[in-house]
Structure 1
Amino acid sequence: MFYRITSLVLIVLLAVSCDKKVETVSQDFKVDFEKFELENGLEVVFHIDNSDPVVAVALTAHVGSAREKEGRTGFAHLFEHLLFLESENLGKGGLDKMSARIGGSGANGSTSRDRTNYLQTVPNDALEKMIWAEADKLGWFINTVTDPVLAKEKQVVKNEKRQGVDNQPYGHTSYVIDKNLYPADHPYNWQVIGSLEDLQNAKLEDVKEFFRRWYVPNNVTLTIVGDFDPEQAKAWVKKYFDEIPTGEPLDAMAPRPGKVEAIKKLYHEDNFARLPELTMTWPTVEQYHPDSYALEVLSEYLSSGKEAPFNQVLVDAKKLTSNVRMYNRTSELAGQAQLSVRAFADKDLDEVAVAVEEAFAKFEAEGISEKDLARIKAGQETMFYNTLSSVLGKGVQLAQYNIFAHDAGFINEEIKYVLAVSAADVNRVYEQYIKGKNYIATSFVPRNNLSAALEGSEKADVVEEQIVQGAEENFDASIQASYEKAPSSFDRSVEPPYGKSPEVKIPTVWKESLSNGLNVFGIENHEVPLVQSNMVIDGGQLLDDPTKVGVANLLAQLLTKGTKTKTTAQLEDEIEQLGASVNVFATTESTNLTVTTLSRNYDEVIAIVKEILLEPRWDSVEFALAKQSTVARISQLAASPNMVAQNEFNKLIYGEDNIRSQNILGSLKSVEAITLDDLKAYYAKFISPSVTRMHVVGALGQAEILAPLKDLTTAWKSKVVTIPAYKSPSRPEQATVYFYDIPDSKQSLLQFGYPALASTDADFYPATVMNYILGGGGFASRLTQELREGKGYTYGIRSSFSGGKIAEPFTISSGVRSNVTYESAQLVKDILADFGSTYTPADLETTQSFMIKSNARAFETAGAKLNMLENISAYGWDADYVKDREKIVNEMTVERIQELAGSYLDPTTMIWLVVGDAKTQLDGLEKLGFGKPVLINQPKISLEVDR
């Protein structure tokens, strides 16, 4: 359950100030809150948001990897996992079971260097249940951790590291940087996920000692945000948390920046890299340091946009790469500015380093203008509103400020520091932290291409785990722990009752059809002063010439590269000055134009959108850059096990004659053959209002949304567009195992399934209901419970019916430890074969409870509302289609589930694809009973790691 929630810079401004004055700060949008503290030191923050009948509960402990001991790393992240598994009063798996019953978003969490959080959004009738469950984490948990539990969770964490680090291109970059940026005794020297050796050596008493020191009320903040009665909630918090004893006093850790005595260059030959990547890292300052705000602006200005110095030199002039990334990462104790360039395959990183210096020199000569400063701040205003557009977003940010700024109210104060940043500040921090300063330079290059690394680089020390068949320790995670329960003043084993059932609020939908055929669907929503829209132009890749796949994708890229009267740089600047974002991308079935804007700037942004849509620039230089960038992406993705699995699965599902079997980017051959005239021809034939649907959610009414669209009826002429109807693929008559070899892969990627159902099929939603317990319900699902919680084979596994306009696939997907490839596949096969006969009334009750109660959360965010509108427009459903689905759920029976399982979960008529290490895993898969596995590739270059 490890994912990173980035702490965003929060900005509110209606007029941009570029000097030290802050009188222009708007107070129109303010996050009001109440804070109190229990006698045991627990700090509690409430914020009321009545817009939806939901509440977010977040428990945040001020403990991350920085509080670990050398030689005992990874404990904070390990506890992020352990605290979901069991507690004395909820029982084994009790939190996940409860989350399913109450219709929650799914208990989740994340670990950083400095904090660990546990969070979930639930219907507001379940608030007392959540407070009860979160209290159990602190006061009634640690006795449940036994040696078998610890052994199993070690395997899950190791699988997570293999999935996110060992089996990913450039996955070890952060490890190499941090080992060299921070001294050995610095708590940022090691990674959040920790050392696998340290985790493997961890003893039960080590784990319990760590918990007792850090998971105490005086080191924790509880935030509750949403639609609830604060007085009642306060009484519940006191009831469930009051008697948890306080821990020993904890001293604050002082900021301690990284240290680079001399420029250090390191290289690593990466098994999965296809392009050389240079990353340069400078030590900077900790979060909330006054200079951190200017460093944010500096990073944004140097790297983002057509006129950014790095883009001008490395992308446009030198043509070394398609993209340069720079950001200032701040943590509690230190910060680091990182510049990363993934060069084209035939480029040398020494060329990149020279170009970087040239870009820095350009900045030194020109500086940053007041206009650019205003542009960056306008974008940050929109980012602020997006961050706070959900109850969970507000809860996370309030906890962040309470712990690290020592004041939850800093959520309304930080903008003053951002607004105070001047051009002089930006120039000063460049001089102070970047110019002429020592740095760490890492060259991650493809294996056997060491010549691409920076000259003078030393070999980086990268720990590559060895995975040996049959070497993993055995454990039985089903064993029930026996222990003496922690005392309590009342019986905590009784789950609290539900509160008053929430009233589900289905948004009011309006629709307008313009005379040229454009259909507009909208929902008015005033929670934040934003408007978000998505214009869907049907066709996408389906309209590509099968011999020149990639045209739709390239056209989408080119549409934002200038208009008839604006260069790329001018177009970007005009959009960003308004604090807006406009993106165009292609999918298999459509071209999408998405917009996020401040509601006050909607008319101006729509004027720009009309230019993009109706007056493309057709810039030949930008077209050449887009082609070069796409070729680079295709090359790199060919080495990504996840993308290989998806590409090969699509080929097996759809067959060579169906364009859906091809990657939307195209192939190296097809992209090279595409000309600018191909894009113009596609645009002229297929970009038409007659096949376009526009969806809008935001703080404007129907008349205000439609007003700037009226002239499109004459400016955008309708034409007949016929979208090819490719034959729907058929389900295999018998199962076959296919294997794609990636030598020495640390994981095997599993993709099992077959062509199943369209979204409009009568059985589609019933089958989705059935799938909840199989693999769609997260930790409530059997696949997760068996393969992750029971065996520790994987970090995650899921199953789904894709839906769509044709029979899209049913898919089971996972990444498993390579030495249990057969065992994982066999377990999936057994679960599928037995699913119908073992489905119980309790399973149905859990499914019904989740699917009905979760409707309280169904329309909370703008994204959820947009998705609702897209379903209505694509499939012709009524605005209250959720009510039809509720009826299906309520009328579902065990017998109907068994019937559906018999029809749609037959393992003997599926495609079984494995992407992994053939020399150790291929032959064993014959034991599945589906015949001899078919090897579908023959790698030309061994990726064997030097021993």
Structure 2
Amino acid sequence: MKSKSILLVLVLLLTSLSSQAQSKPDVKNDFNVSFEEYNLANGLRVILHVDKSDPVVAVALTCHVGSAREIPGRTGFAHLFEHLLFLESENLGKGGLDKMSAQIGGSGANGSTSRDRTNYFQTVPNDALEKMIWAEADKLGFFINTVTDPVLAKEKQVVKNEKRQSSDNRPYGHNFAVIDKNLYPANHPYNWEVIGSLEDLQSATLDDVKNFYSKWYVPNNVVLTIAGDFDPKQTKIWVEKYFGEIKRGNDIPKIAKQEVILPETKKYYYEDNFANLPQLTIAWPSVYEYHPDSYALEVLADYLARGKKAPLYQSLVENKKITDEVSLYQYNSEIAGQYMLTVRAFENTDLNLVLEGIEEGFAKFEKEGISQQDLDRIKAKQETIFYSGLSSALGKGFQLAQYVIYTGSPSYINQDIKNIQGVTTEDVMRVYQKYIKGKNFVASSFVPKGQANLILKNSVLADIVEEKIIDGNEETFDASIAANYSKTPSAFDRSKEPPYGKDPVVKTPDVWKQKLSSGLQVYGIENNEVPLVLFQTQIKGSLLLENNDKIGVSNLLASLMMKGTKNKTTQELENAIEILGATIYINATDDAIVISGFSLAKNYEKTIQLVEEMITQPRWDKTEFDLIKESILSQIKQQKADPNSIAENQFRKLVYGQNSKLSNALIGTEETVSTITIDDLKSFYTQNFSPSATNFQIVGAVSMKKVLESLAHLNKNWADKKVIVPTPIIAEKPGASVVYFYDVPGAKQSVLRIGAIAMAAADADYHLANVMNYRFGGGKFASQLMQQLRDNKGYVYHIDSSFDGTAYKGPFLINGSVRSNITFEAVQLIKTILEDYGKNFNTNDLEITQSNLIKSNARAFETLEAKINMLNEICNYNFPNDYVKKQEMETKNVTVSDIKKLSEKYLNANQMIYLVVGDAETQLQKLEQLGFGKPVLLNPKQ
């Protein structure tokens, strides 16, 4: 992926829901999504879908090439290409796409790579559609001449950093490599990982890159999807203009299905440097994506592992009490698939006991099967996921392109829901018998260092190559050297950026507010575009109300509130929620316990009745409490070995100060959680749950009248009490910078947290400080941190900065991970950027910042989630209803001088906490050269 992460479209349940979901789909009826499909003469497949709900348009370019089209010894090319295509093209120039994205207010050009396809996408205000079509065409037909050996060398470092971050420097990061290498034969294209090996990446040559591009990046192997608010007639003219003259490539044969037959069961183990808990993964050969049996297998996975009734949950969690969660899912791709079962067990658990529990769960299923009622419940959930995945313009665009790649036609979208609905109880048992029962599998036992006694019997050591940390071990390069080439001929001047279209019309949502007689504050936005309601209830206090020796009570309480009510067991509550097609979550934050969720508008009242029951009538189930407590203790144990968790917890202590309640991790510590009893939860609930300390926020297809009616019973029956939430003590920013180091021996990356206390979200400087931060580290690829540390040096995969104020003062924070052997160089460069940012900020920087932040308002209210975030700020920070417009005016009126002053105030390199979590043996000593004195080692060896 190009950015830190990609939100998976099919689980964006907090955005909006297709109007098709107003009534339950009938398998006998056709389900239709309107689209237009046509081909250019050069073979480019074009899909257009018009959605007028918001003034935005999503453009996606999907190339039918992933890691499956690579060859051994040259793995990782498809993913490397995903990176390269963002860097430069003939007519946009170096970094041109990111510069344009920043100026037009887009969501940020992004991409992802799988085994079978690579896609590039962005959502932009609809006045920038022609610009996006121009830019995407330049990727496809006018790119390869710009790639040079230095550019390739630099991007290799970026991709290798991504691999270290996603695999080599985190717990269980090598697990998929072990599974795939042994599940698939050596000649199978799924035998290697999408990201490839460090060795293969390093050995890639410029000729390799050019040959890969000329074979796969051709119009007849690409799908262009445009979805949103646009004029189809004009769009077709633009598509023909910019894509039409790109030459067709050689015909590409369809890749054959290559399902796997595993001749024997294979068991492997690995002692993981970053794992504190044993984990067992079992993988069975399965079916390709959209295989007729994949639908029943999906139901089987849900029934076996998810929820209180699930046989595997009952066996492993409730009966044996050796884990808190079971994960079972399909990982299906174009030509084959695998069925993945993962159990992360509690500390010191023998994984052979886990396997016994799995077998017991299977035996229970074989005996009892699945009922029609449970099948219907699971189907209802699958339908909701299906429709929500098609709710946004980008979601529909993605899905239509995926159907082309995997089935050959976007019209499969109308068959997919029928197949979901068509599964029978007999199908579920049949696929279990066919693919799971008694079948050979690959098992991996990942255990902490020195705990090989916990692995499955007869396991052999997995073949994993560990990278050694060697200073100066990476090749040097100068990525600024311009490529020397003749431009690809075109019938018109492609170097001229197309103009903007008509300005998008953006309307700020209307907000209503009510304070009920109980003291409950209610905030709402009525929006009838889709029949969905999104809500959240915040009960203030949480960590801020905890006793110092009972830190973690709020987190435990939030989890226990999900486990039934006075009149419903956990299983009954789960069923009641799922039957409504709703979702309800309860979680703790630093200053609130939050009950959030969504439902179909027609089921809103019944969903809120369940929320009320969960708030006012907890079940206080001792068995569930014990399970949750054990689970949290295991999470705490695992966090101690995870460099990212270590960095987060240590930075809280350093930035807030030891005397601050906010210095504590919300989850608690082993010492505090061990002492917490269910009576402590009851006491906290009794003393601190009150309507006058609570707000309710709601957006969607429901009127204020109906919302207030739905809350009337809660308002009448929830007794109010006075709750005073204390203002936390927060340390001042340091008078002089200090470097802190936390040693994780053998770390392949150093995790960086650099920052200092700044301000609260309601502070007068807060909005403009975020404006100031855009070009420093908040603007993704338009930021200096990304441009200098990634684009120029190849030091990082991702790095950013932010102001994290809430109702209380929060820190300015720089957050990233760098390869271990350049830790000092990276921190030194960050220090230099801090020192120079304000001094060098100029008119061009301001124009780029203003253009992005103002134009991006076209996307500001696109989703229900965006609207509820708006309510959250109005509610918690006392912002006016039109604060977005007021902030837009502040952005328009800010000057270069204003930015310089803010930079001086908040980006002082000499008043920062510099925290490094990495390998002390090789990296600690050099950091003294920063000039901030000898680094403080936070965990010296005893």
Which whole-Å CA distance do the structure 2 matches of 1:920 and 1:127 have between them?
A: 50
1:435 is paired with a residue whose SS is coil
Aligned partner of 1:865: which letter? Answer: K
The partner residue of 1:712 within 711, 714, 719 is 714
1:721 corresponding residue in structure 2: 723
Is the contact made by 2:277 and 2:344 (CA closer than 8 Å) also made in structure 1? yes
- Give the 3 Å change call, closer, same or farther, for CA 121–763 of structure 1 in structure 2: same
1:210 corresponding residue in structure 2: 212
1:259, distance to aligned residue in structure 2 (A): 3.0
1:452, distance to aligned residue in structure 2 (A): 0.6
1:481-560 aligned within 5 A: 481-560=483-562
1:254, distance to aligned residue in structure 2 (A): 1.3
The partner residue of 1:22 within 16, 19, 27 is 27
1:248 corresponding residue in structure 2: 250
1:768 is paired with a residue whose SS is helix
Which whole-Å CA distance do the structure 2 matches of 1:743 and 1:814 have between them?
A: 19
Is the contact made by 1:322 and 1:629 (CA closer than 8 Å) also made in structure 2? yes
Which whole-Å CA distance do the structure 2 matches of 1:939 and 1:171 have between them?
A: 26
- Give the 3 Å change call, closer, same or farther, for CA 326–195 of structure 1 in structure 2: same
Runs of 5+ consecutive residues of structure 1 not aligned to the other structure: 941-947
Q: How many correspondences in the alignment?
A: 934
1:281 corresponding residue in structure 2: 283
Which whole-Å CA distance do the structure 2 matches of 1:682 and 1:91 have between them?
A: 59
- Give the 3 Å change call, closer, same or farther, for CA 6–851 of structure 1 in structure 2: closer
Which whole-Å CA distance do the structure 1 matches of 2:233 and 2:705 have between them?
A: 41
1:116-127 aligned within 5 A: 116-127=118-129
Which whole-Å CA distance do the structure 2 matches of 1:127 and 1:299 have between them?
A: 41
Which whole-Å CA distance do the structure 1 matches of 2:387 and 2:789 have between them?
A: 39
1:129-528 aligned within 5 A: 129-528=131-530
Is the contact made by 2:511 and 2:881 (CA closer than 8 Å) also made in structure 1? yes
Is the contact made by 1:5 and 1:110 (CA closer than 8 Å) also made in structure 2? no
1:711 is paired with a residue whose SS is helix
Aligned partner of 2:641: which letter? Answer: A
1:394, distance to aligned residue in structure 2 (A): 1.6
1:943 corresponding residue in structure 2: none
Aligned partner of 1:413: which letter? Answer: Q
1:5, distance to aligned residue in structure 2 (A): 6.4
The partner residue of 1:103 within 88, 102, 105 is 105
1:812 is paired with a residue whose SS is strand
Aligned partner of 1:22: which letter? Answer: V
1:692, distance to aligned residue in structure 2 (A): 1.1
1:290 is paired with a residue whose SS is coil
Which whole-Å CA distance do the structure 2 matches of 1:809 and 1:452 have between them?
A: 42
1:687, distance to aligned residue in structure 2 (A): 1.2
1:768 corresponding residue in structure 2: 770
1:944 corresponding residue in structure 2: none
Instruction: Using the TM superposition, name which of 88-97 and 48-57 deviates more.
Output: 48-57
2:324 is paired with a residue whose SS is strand
1:529, distance to aligned residue in structure 2 (A): 2.2
Is the contact made by 1:183 and 1:259 (CA closer than 8 Å) also made in structure 2? no
Is the contact made by 2:9 and 2:395 (CA closer than 8 Å) also made in structure 1? no
1:321 is paired with a residue whose SS is coil
Cα deviation digits, residues 423-455 of structure 1 (max 9, x gap): 000000000000000000100000100001001
Is the contact made by 1:385 and 1:528 (CA closer than 8 Å) also made in structure 2? no
| TM-score normalised by the chain length of structure 1 | 0.97
Is the contact made by 2:386 and 2:417 (CA closer than 8 Å) also made in structure 1? no
Cα deviation digits, residues 615-658 of structure 1 (max 9, x gap): 11100000000100000000001111001001000000111111
Which whole-Å CA distance do the structure 1 matches of 2:796 and 2:490 have between them?
A: 36
Is the contact made by 2:30 and 2:414 (CA closer than 8 Å) also made in structure 1? no
The partner residue of 1:665 within 667, 674, 699 is 667
Cα deviation digits, residues 815-848 of structure 1 (max 9, x gap): 0000000000000000110111111100000000
Aligned partner of 1:797: which letter? Answer: I
Identity level (%): 57
Which whole-Å CA distance do the structure 2 matches of 1:530 and 1:890 have between them?
A: 35
2:268 is paired with a residue whose SS is strand
1:14, distance to aligned residue in structure 2 (A): 7.0
- Give the 3 Å change call, closer, same or farther, for CA 114–367 of structure 1 in structure 2: same
2:325 is paired with a residue whose SS is strand
Cα deviation digits, residues 761-812 of structure 1 (max 9, x gap): 1111111110000000000000100000000000011011112112100001
Aligned partner of 1:85: which letter? Answer: L
Cα deviation digits, residues 571-609 of structure 1 (max 9, x gap): 111111111111100000110001121222111111111
Cα deviation digits, residues 49-76 of structure 1 (max 9, x gap): 1111111110000100001111111000
Runs of 5+ consecutive residues of structure 2 not aligned to the other structure: 12-16
1:631-780 aligned within 5 A: 631-780=633-782
Aligned partner of 2:600: which letter? Answer: L
Q: Name the Cα RMSD after superposition.
A: 1.4
1:31, distance to aligned residue in structure 2 (A): 2.3
Cα deviation digits, residues 483-530 of structure 1 (max 9, x gap): 111110000000000001111121122222211111121122233322
Which whole-Å CA distance do the structure 2 matches of 1:426 and 1:217 have between them?
A: 41
Cα deviation digits, residues 531-558 of structure 1 (max 9, x gap): 1111111111111111110000000000
Is the contact made by 2:284 and 2:340 (CA closer than 8 Å) also made in structure 1? yes
2:72 corresponding residue in structure 1: 70
1:802 corresponding residue in structure 2: 804
1:939, distance to aligned residue in structure 2 (A): 4.8
- Give the 3 Å change call, closer, same or farther, for CA 776–4 of structure 1 in structure 2: closer
Aligned partner of 1:616: which letter? Answer: P
1:620 corresponding residue in structure 2: 622
1:834-845 aligned within 5 A: 834-845=836-847
Cα deviation digits, residues 202-232 of structure 1 (max 9, x gap): 1100000000100110010111111111111
1:701, distance to aligned residue in structure 2 (A): 2.0
1:644 is paired with a residue whose SS is helix
Is the contact made by 1:375 and 1:578 (CA closer than 8 Å) also made in structure 2? no
1:465, distance to aligned residue in structure 2 (A): 1.6
Cα deviation digits, residues 400-430 of structure 1 (max 9, x gap): 1122222212223211111110000000000
Aligned partner of 2:567: which letter? Answer: T
Aligned partner of 1:593: which letter? Answer: I
The partner residue of 2:823 within 809, 821, 824 is 821
Which whole-Å CA distance do the structure 2 matches of 1:857 and 1:357 have between them?
A: 50
Which whole-Å CA distance do the structure 1 matches of 2:65 and 2:507 have between them?
A: 38
2:14 corresponding residue in structure 1: none
Instruction: Using the TM superposition, name which of 928-937 and 715-724 deviates more.
Output: 715-724
Which whole-Å CA distance do the structure 1 matches of 2:254 and 2:85 have between them?
A: 24
1:15, distance to aligned residue in structure 2 (A): 7.2
1:412 is paired with a residue whose SS is helix
1:901 corresponding residue in structure 2: 903
Which whole-Å CA distance do the structure 1 matches of 2:459 and 2:292 have between them?
A: 34
1:342, distance to aligned residue in structure 2 (A): 0.4
Which whole-Å CA distance do the structure 2 matches of 1:702 and 1:258 have between them?
A: 56
Aligned partner of 2:298: which letter? Answer: E
Which whole-Å CA distance do the structure 1 matches of 2:398 and 2:367 have between them?
A: 41
2:878 corresponding residue in structure 1: 876
Cα deviation digits, residues 268-326 of structure 1 (max 9, x gap): 10000100000011001101110000000000000000110011110001001000000
Which whole-Å CA distance do the structure 2 matches of 1:102 and 1:915 have between them?
A: 37
Aligned partner of 1:224: which letter? Answer: I
Which whole-Å CA distance do the structure 2 matches of 1:902 and 1:508 have between them?
A: 38
Which whole-Å CA distance do the structure 1 matches of 2:251 and 2:571 have between them?
A: 55
